[in-house]
Structure 1
């Protein structure tokens, strides 16, 4: 059976996720922006955490870990390349390694760009990818530590996952990302429809994360830098997709 995955709003606009394997009873938390809402949901379900999977070192993804571990004896998993600035890791992983939550196998994907040591976790049998601040709903993370070509390459890894993969990203930036996306593709009918749906959902305070990869491929400008319509809209018909991506990301930084 696929993992049962709960979305946990944290802080002002972060998300953590709880993934539970019903057959084994094992439970993992993916990122810990703050402990209280995660602990409350765990208590409600009666689940005990076995593992914590960390995507990257930024405080708004790890700062609740110590409090969580006070009541849950869990192994902490994170990138070997970032072990020096992550909380103490019990298990260090590299690109291509696997992790397990009960009977479900997850694949570690290195996605540098936002940070150099950022990783994602893809659980193919559950059609789930935990991408944090790499691929996001209608967006991607700022390129803080890496390079633009590096980030584009990372996004391509995620874009090449099966289209029915569900993307569990780290922030509720969807509405603002949609407003920006329309400046790149104002005539994209899939995007227009999505932005309308977003407005209705946010009016009811409904989370817009997770999102289907299939929808991201149709509407997310950061995945569409290789589309001729996007290249033409930017006047960059002769540019490489990585160069077009860099232009889109630069515009978003100033938006």
Structure 2
């Protein structure tokens, strides 16, 4: 049975720890120390990387030196032993893994979709780094609004029950922005209350689901007239197409 658990790192990062059949993999280990502590003497069988930022890659060298494990991710990253690109299909933990390119936050950003067969059908697990956050998305450090909007649209086309494992605990701040961007959205109001309760107990707010993001994430709701009007009002302009709405939302959020 597949187990997926967060390893907290730095102030708000999560390194995802995947185990099945005695194998151990981690996603985006920005720091080696908490991974080594979590493994508690077990071996590490592999590392998955979504993009090149140091808080996602900083532990690669130490983990490879200790465990001699493969590192799968964008070929632009030092330490990657098996470069991945969009459309690749491979197997880890005895399960199929699909690679999707999702530029915007960075140009080399990948998302990784793990398929887990179950008695009820199939569970989908999405490791999306800093492209899609719970109720938000990453800043545009390298890509364009059009690229990020297309990447989010691609992820939004996955089945609504797909579990979303992003890499930061940003949910509360993101939902506060979502409430400002779409104040009439009851789903946002309800989710904000739930997340406030979780964070008051210092509990993780992840994973999310694609369905929850489509209902509450303003960056995935640029087609909603109320969101477009709010974004236009912040920019002092009339409503525009979805990419322009996204760009205005992202600029607003950057200064929120």
Normalised by the size of structure 2, how large is the TM-score? 0.91
Q: Contact (CA 8 Å) 2:178, 2:218: kept in 1 or not?
A: yes
Query: What SS class does the counterpart of residue 16 from structure 2 fall into?
Result: strand
Which of 135, 155, 160 does residue 132 from structure 2 map onto?
A: 135
Distance 1:117 1:29 in 2: 19
Corresponding residue of 2:43: 48
Q: In the alignment, what sits opposite 1:163?
A: 160
Which position in structure 2 is the counterpart of 1:252?
253
Q: Is the 1:20–1:101 Cα contact (8 Å) retained in structure 2?
A: no
Q: Which residue of 2 aligns with 1:71?
A: 66
Map 1:1-255; keep pairs closer than 5 Å: 1=1, 3-22=2-21, 25-43=22-40, 47-80=42-75, 83=76, 86-125=77-116, 126-235=123-232, 238-255=239-256
Distance 1:67 1:230 in 2: 45
CA distance in 1, matches of 2:238, 2:167: 32
Structure 2 CA distance for partners of 1:238 and 1:187, relative to 1, 3 Å: closer
Q: Is the CA contact (8 Å cut-off) linking 2:60 and 2:79 kept in structure 1?
A: no
> Within 1, Cα distance between the matches of 2:109 and 2:13?
16
List structure 1 segments (4+ residues) > 4 angstroms apart after TM superposition: 235-238
**Runs of at least 5 residues in structure 2 that lack an aligned partner in the other structure:** 117-122
Instruction: Give the Cα separation in 1 of the matches to 2:19 and 2:6.
Output: 12
Q: Distance in 2 between matches of 1:232 and 1:250?
A: 15
RMSD between aligned alpha carbons?
Answer: 1.5
Q: Is residue 178–residue 195 contact of structure 1 (8 Å, CA) maintained in 2?
A: yes
SS of equivalent to 2:229: helix
Determine helix, strand or coil for the equivalent of 1:88: coil
Distance, in Å, in 2 between the alignment partners of 1:161 and 1:100 is 20
Shift in CA distance, 226/237, structure 1 to aligned 2, threshold 3 Å: farther
TM-score (norm 1): 0.92
Separation in structure 2 between the aligned mates of residue 14 and residue 234 of structure 1, nearest angstrom: 29
Aligned to 2:119: none
In 1, Cα distance between the equivalents of 2:14 and 2:93? 23
- SS, match of residue 15 in structure 2: strand
Q: For this pair of structures, how many residues does the alignment match?
A: 246
- Tell me the alpha carbon deviations over residues 57-88 of structure 1, each in whole angstroms, 9 at most, x when there is no partner: 111111112222232221011113xx2xx122
